Structure formats: C-alpha cells, structure tokens
Amino acid sequence: MINVLIQGLALSGLYALLAVGFTMIFSVGRVLNLAYGVYIMLGGYMYYTAVQVLGLPKIGGFAFAIASGIAFGVLTYTILVRRLEDNPVAVEIATLILAVVMQSLIILIYRPVSKSMWPVVQGVFRYEGVFVTYNLLVAMVVSWVALAGLLLFVRYTRYGRAIQAVSMDRKGAVISGIDPRQMNLATWAISGALGALAGVFFATYTQLNPSMWVGPLIVAVAVVVVGGIGSIIGSLIVAHIIGFMETFTTALIAAELRGVFTMILIIVVLVVAPKGLFGRSEL
C-alpha cells in the first residue's frame, strides 16, 4: 500500500508540472493549445540532442530544451494564434493540425524509432520493497518548486499581476493600460518553458517517441477540464486525483485499464459539470 502512495505522489507531481503550462494559456488567452504536447516532446528531444548526441553537460541540456520551448511557444502565438485569436475554436483546430505537423517533423529528423533517455539523476530509492527512481523524485521536487515559483510570480510581481488581470478581466486590463497581447505572448513563452521542462523529466521517465505528445496532452486536458478554468491550486489537486487514480488502477484493478478512467473522467465532468469541479478561482 505504501508503495502505491509514494508512486502516486511522485507521478502526480510530474503530472502537475505537465499540466500547468496548458492551464496558464487557457486562463489567460481563453484558448486551448492542443500543440502543447509538442512543447513536451520538444523539451525531451532537445535535451536528448544536447546531452546524448552533442555531449553537453546536463545543465546545457536543460537550457537548450527550455530555450526551444520558449521559442516554439512564442512562434505558435505570433504566427498562428494571434491571427486567429478571437476564435478559440479556430485556435483549437489549428493547434491540433500543428501538433500533427510537428510530429511529422520529429519523425523526419529523428526517425520514428523510440529512444531511451538517460535519467537526469541516477539511482533508485528503496524502502521496504518500494522502489522509486531518484529521477522521478527530483521531477516531483522540481515540479513543486516550479509551481510555487509560478504562484509567487503571478501573485507578487507586477508582470505576474498584469497577466492575472488579463486572465480575470480582459477589458478591464486594457482600460488600466495593460497590453493583453504582450501578456499573452509572455504567457505562451512561460508555457513553452514549463512544457519543455516537464518534457525533459517526462521523457527520462518514459522514452522519446514521435507520438509521445498525445498522452501528456490528454492528462493536461483532463486537468483543465476537471479543475475548471485556470486555477493553479485546482490543477495541482486534479493532477493528484489523476496520478493516484492511474497508480491505483494499475496496482489494484488492471494495468491495461489505466487510461480508460481518465477518459471517462473527462467525459463525465464535461457533461455533468461543464465548469469543472473547482470552478473559477484566482490564478
């Protein structure tokens, strides 16, 4: 039982980090970025290229991954989303197509063969027959630090409060002299960075594969849908619900049903409580 708890906690931490960038864009720009999974994939592949192909140190790998996440986030926003901004449905369609295009690009460059990544931190934590990799524990800690940092940034810095203002009341923000486009751009950049960072851990945890963007995207979608619009705390709670649900399903029910409950959760919540379980709260 204790191992299920520890693993559930570690997995949930990773899921929270995976989802938070997606949540941010949704709360600030009111659009669903279905190309978000690509940031995760990009993070993994760039880290791999830097560390395992070019032989850079790990910190260089992180820098490379995060920089490319930011660049791609900014590009998605300026080239695609800004042109379609008033129409969330158009953004949803266009980003889905973009995701498939990026998937093809990754296949073209890296081939469709799955690649294993070396863990960021070596070693295994063992306790009473429980084993969890240090890599996953580090991912969990990084996730908490990143989320706490984000919360502080949004609540206590000028820039962060401006972003929050746009997310709560766009017109009001414009009146008080905030440029929503600039705030949106910043959000997409932060989202890209968070996605890529999560991607490095996700990929070391699993593997690199051109279709690896789908799984995390579904988790992120579930977190947003169940958690309601853009609450960081809500996302954190839901990430834990999903993480624990998956771990319990695998350990106690049947491993092959793991993803089924996440899908059912999305459907049920959207049909029964379209505003999410936690409704709208501050960012």
Partner 1 sequence: MDATKGLRHSIGACALLCATAAAANAQEDPVVIGFIGSMSSDVGLSTLRGAEIAIDELNAAGGVLGGRQITLVTADTFEDVTEGIKAYEYLNDVENVDFIVSGSIDDVSLGWFERMAEYRTPTLDTWTSYIGIIDMVVADYDKYKMYFMNIGNDYALATSLIDFGKDMLAGEMGWKSTVILQEDTAFGNGTGEFLAAELSSQAGVEILDQIVYDINAVDFAPIFNKAVSLDPDFLYLISSVNSQVPSSQYVKLQVPVPMTGINVAAIGRDFWDDTGGTGGGASTFSPLPASGMDHDPASQQFVDTYQERYDTRPIYPHFNGFNAYFGIKNAVAAAERAGGFAPLDAWVEEMENTDLVLEKDGQLWHRFAYWKKGEIEPRTGREYTHNLKFDITEPYDDGVPPMAIVQWYQDGQQRIIYPPKYANGEFELPPWIEQ
Partner 2 sequence: MPKSQFHRYLLCWLAFGAFMCLVPLFASTGMVRVLIFANFLAIFAMSWDIISGRTGYISFGHPFLIGIAGYTTAILTRHLDAPLYVSIPLAILATLVGGALFFVPALRIRGTYFALVTLAFMELMYQLTQVIAPKITGGTRGLSGLKTIILGAVPNYYLSFFVMFAIAFCLWLIVRTRIGSALAAIRMDEEAVTALGLSTFKLKLFAFGTSAAVAGIGGALYVHYIGSIAPRALFDINFLFTILVAALLGGSGTIAGPILGAYFLTFLLEYLRPFLSGAERYLIYGAITLIVYVLEPRGLHSILERAYARIAPALARGFAR
Q: Which residues from 145-184 bind partner 1, rule CB under 8 A?
A: none
The neighbour count for residue 144, using CB atoms within 10 Å, is 14
The smaller minimum CB distance to partner 1, of residues 9 and 67, is found at 9
Q: What Rg, from alpha-carbon coordinates, does the chain have?
A: 18
12 binds partner 1 (CB under 8 A): no
Strands (E), 35-147: 124-127, 130-133
75 binds partner 2 (CB under 8 A): no
Here the tokens at position 155 are: 């609540």
DSSP string, 178-246: --HHHHHHHHHHHHHHHHHHHHHHHHHHS-B-TTTTHHHHHHHHHHHHHH-TT-HHHHHHHHHHHHHHH
49 binds partner 1 (CB under 8 A): no
Here the tokens at position 265 are: 């959760």
Q: What are phi and psi of 211, to 5 degrees?
A: -105, 15
Residue 133 CB, nearest distance to partner 1 (Å)? 5
Residue 62 CB, nearest distance to partner 1 (Å)? 18
The smaller minimum CB distance to partner 2, of residues 241 and 266, is found at 266
92 binds partner 2 (CB under 8 A): yes
141 binds partner 2 (CB under 8 A): no
Site residue total, partner 2 (CB under 8 A): 36
Distance CA 248, CA 236 (A): 18
Residue 80 CB, nearest distance to partner 1 (Å)? 26
**Torsion angle, CA of 144/212/49/13, rounded to 10 degrees?**
10
124 binds partner 2 (CB under 8 A): no
Q: What are phi and psi of 43, to 5 degrees?
A: -55, -50
Please, how many CA atoms are within 13 Å of residue 272, restricted to the half-sphere of its CB? 8
3 binds partner 1 (CB under 8 A): yes
| Site mask for partner 1 (CB under 8 A), range 110-139, x = bound | -xxxxxxxxx----x----xxxxx-xx---
State the Cα angle at 48 between 96 and 209, rounded to 5°. 40
List 30, 250, 261, 278, residue binding partner 1 (CB under 8 A): 250
The neighbour count for residue 3, using CB atoms within 10 Å, is 15
Distance CA 182, CA 221 (A): 25
Residue 97 CB, nearest distance to partner 2 (Å)? 5
Residue 98 CB, nearest distance to partner 2 (Å)? 6
Report what 93 binds from partner 1, partner 2, none; CB cut-off 5-8 Å by kind. partner 2
Residue 101 CB, nearest distance to partner 2 (Å)? 4
In the complex, the residues that contact partner 2 under the rule CB under 8 A are 31-32, 80, 83-84, 88-90, 92-94, 96-98, 100-101, 104-105, 107-108, 112, 214, 218, 221, 225, 256-257, 259-260, 263-264, 266-267, 270-271, 274
In the complex, the residues that contact partner 1 under the rule CB under 8 A are 3-4, 7, 11, 52, 107, 111-119, 124, 129-133, 135-136, 202, 205-207, 209, 215, 246-247, 250-251, 254-259
